[in-house]
Amino acid sequence: MVVFSFNHSFAQSVSLPEAIRIAFEKNQNTQANDQQLLATLEDIKGLTYSAYSPRFSTGVSQSWSQREDLLDSSRTTGRTYSAYASISWNIYRGFQDQFRIRKAMCGYKRTEAIYNSTDTQIPDTKGQIAQAVAGVYMVMVGNISALEFNEKKRKFLEKMESFAATAIEKSQIQNAKADIQIQVGQLVSSQRIAENNYRKVVNDQVPNSLDKFDQVISDIEIPSDYMEAYAIATQKSPDLKTAELGVECQQLAYESSKNENSWKNFSVDASLNASRSGGRSSLPGSEFRGANYGGSISLSKTWVPGMKNYEAGDALRLLSEKNRYEAKLRSAKVNLENSYIKLADLVSSALAYQQGYATVESQVEEAISNLSSQQATVSQVFELLGSLEGRFWNMTGAKSNLIDRKFSIQREIGTLFDRTIGKAP
């Protein structure tokens, strides 16, 4: 772990998988998505209850009246009241309620898959947030690595100072130190911006230490080959799941259209009702009271003109969704195969650059130790330092690309969303 202190309000050490987990828990956009999904589930529960439960209604009323005879100026007053209760129940509706509920649940599952995806126009999905967390995390890791390298280079320059014999050599050392100071200032500014972005995306304090490049590479576990990765993707990939559910939802729409004009699509409804009423007026013997009870059962069948056309349209849309899903599967397989080809190159490059960096670093240390015996010159050390810096940036870039590729594979096949802390199951 690398420790840094640009700020005084740090959380504890956090790895990249942990940072993503925290973002999933605390980012307000992911919370909003989760709340939308919960709201949709409540809607589906309400749809289910309303479809299969009896409906009750009740009410009361009361009225007053006054009648005045214009011939004899007599007045008659009256009051009436009533109360009623009824229950109605749709016993059977030709499976239409079942289709509505199943389509609603399919839509819920599809929305859930989209919220985990990165290939969508919906903003702030889990896939997009995970990508943002990884991006800002690696910026911070890269800044720390660069700061460490600049500190190492500064110490090399300090060791060289006492051996600088000419004004040119002394000037080179001072200029190099000044360049380091400028780079450090830029890196510190970059780090502070990255910290602010971390707080924004993760919605948590910045950790007081991060993993180094090699630890991040080790933490991102992926399958050993593209065929294994593809097999996992067919089960867990949010993008493939979205396409698969597109087929499932359209299949339900097609079956619903077929059922619409089927002989099975008729309705059976039943109802019971009861009411009481009464009233009286100012006339003698005018009081009355009554009760009514009743029930009904009805059977109805509706034919929708043009339903065959709707059915044909849904059949074509189903075929379209199946073709899209098959295309997604083929594309995912090819993309994963290409990713693993690139991955092998990136692993080789990162290893080669790391070995090259270590070799040149040893040469720099040896050359500095030989300055006192004049077996090496300050100019030769400067040349080696330039080579060392180039190899450092090559190594850093190669490791960053390797992390990006591994993380991209993990996100694409869907195992990223299995992670909590540490390794994927």
CA distance 224 to 194: 33
Model pLDDT, residue 422: 33
- Under the phi-then-psi rule, with left for phi > 0, alpha for psi from -120 to 50, and beta for the rest, what region is 90? beta
**Which pLDDT does position 9 carry in this prediction?**
47
* CB-CB neighbours of 66 under 10 Å: 10
**pTM of structure:** 0.78
Give the pLDDT of residue 187.
Answer: 96
- The terminus-to-terminus CA distance of the chain in angstroms comes to 24
Return the pLDDT at 282.
Answer: 63
CA distance 413 to 119: 13
CA gap 326, 312 in Å, rounded:
21
Give, in order, the Cα–Cα distances in Å from 271 to each of 48, 218, 409: 20, 67, 59
Report whether 232 contacts 425 (CB < 8 A): no
Domain boundaries, the chain: 2-63+93-270+306-418
Partners of 272 in beta bridges: 87, 295
Kindly give, in sequence order, each residue whose CB lies less than 8 Å from that of residue 195, ignoring residues fewer than 6 positions away.
Answer: 6, 7, 140, 206
Q: Domain 2-63+93-270+306-418 classified CATH 3.40.47.10?
A: no
Low-confidence ranges of the chain (pLDDT < 50): 1-10, 419-425
